[in-house]
Copies of this chain bind each other. A is one copy, B any other.
Amino acid sequence: MRPKIVLFGDSITEASFDVGGWGAALANCFCRTADVVLRGYSGYNTRWVLKVLDRVFPLKSQTQSLSLASPSNVVAVTLFLGANDASLPDRSSAFQHVPIAEYHQNLLAIIAHFKALWPCTVILLITPPPIDEDGRLRYPYGENPSGLPERTLESAKAYATACLEVGREACVPVIDLCSKMQSTPGWEKLYLSDGLHLTAEGNRVVFEEVVEALQKEGVSPEKRTVDLPLLSEMDPNDPLKSFQLLP
A-to-B contact residues, CB < 8 Å:
1-2, 4, 14-15, 17-21, 23-25, 27-28, 31-32, 35, 37-38, 40-44, 47-48, 51-52, 55-56, 63-69, 73, 95-96, 227-228, 230-231, 234, 236-237, 239-240, 243, 246
Find out whether the CB atom of B24 lies under 8 angstroms from the CB atom of A95: no
A1 surroundings in chain B (CB, below 8 A):
64-67
How many Å from the CB of A98 to the closest CB on chain B?
11
How many Å from the CB of A203 to the closest CB on chain B?
10
Given A18-B28, A24-B27, the answer on whether A2 and B66 have CB atoms closer than 8 Å is yes
A55 surroundings in chain B (CB, below 8 A):
228, 246
Bound CA span A172–B69, Å: 29
Find out whether the CB atom of A237 lies under 8 angstroms from the CB atom of B95: yes
The contact of A56 among B27, B228, B237, by CB within 8 Å, is B228
Find out whether the CB atom of A51 lies under 8 angstroms from the CB atom of B240: yes
The contact of A2 among B27, B41, B67, B95, by CB within 8 Å, is B67
> Which partner residue on chain B sits nearest A237 by CB separation?
B95
Copies of this chain, complex-wide, total 2
> Which partner residue on chain B sits nearest A94 by CB separation?
B236
Bound CA span A51–B244, Å: 9
> Which partner residue on chain B sits nearest A19 by CB separation?
B20
A240 surroundings in chain B (CB, below 8 A):
47-48, 51
Find out whether the CB atom of B32 lies under 8 angstroms from the CB atom of A14: yes
Find out whether the CB atom of B243 lies under 8 angstroms from the CB atom of A52: yes
How many Å from the CB of A20 to the closest CB on chain B?
6
How many Å from the CB of A205 to the closest CB on chain B?
15
Bound CA span A133–B15, Å: 37
> Which partner residue on chain B sits nearest A65 by CB separation?
B1
> Which partner residue on chain B sits nearest A45 by CB separation?
B239
How many Å from the CB of A17 to the closest CB on chain B?
4
A230 surroundings in chain B (CB, below 8 A):
42
The contact of A31 among B14, B20, B27, B234, by CB within 8 Å, is B14
Add 19 more A-B contacts to A17-B31, A48-B239 (CB < 8 A): A1-B64, A1-B65, A1-B67, A14-B31, A17-B27, A19-B19, A19-B20, A19-B24, A23-B27, A24-B24, A24-B27, A24-B28, A42-B230, A43-B231, A44-B231, A52-B246, A56-B228, A67-B69, A95-B234
Which of A17, A23, A32, A40 lies at the interface centre, i.e. has the most chain B CB atoms within 10 A of its CB? A17
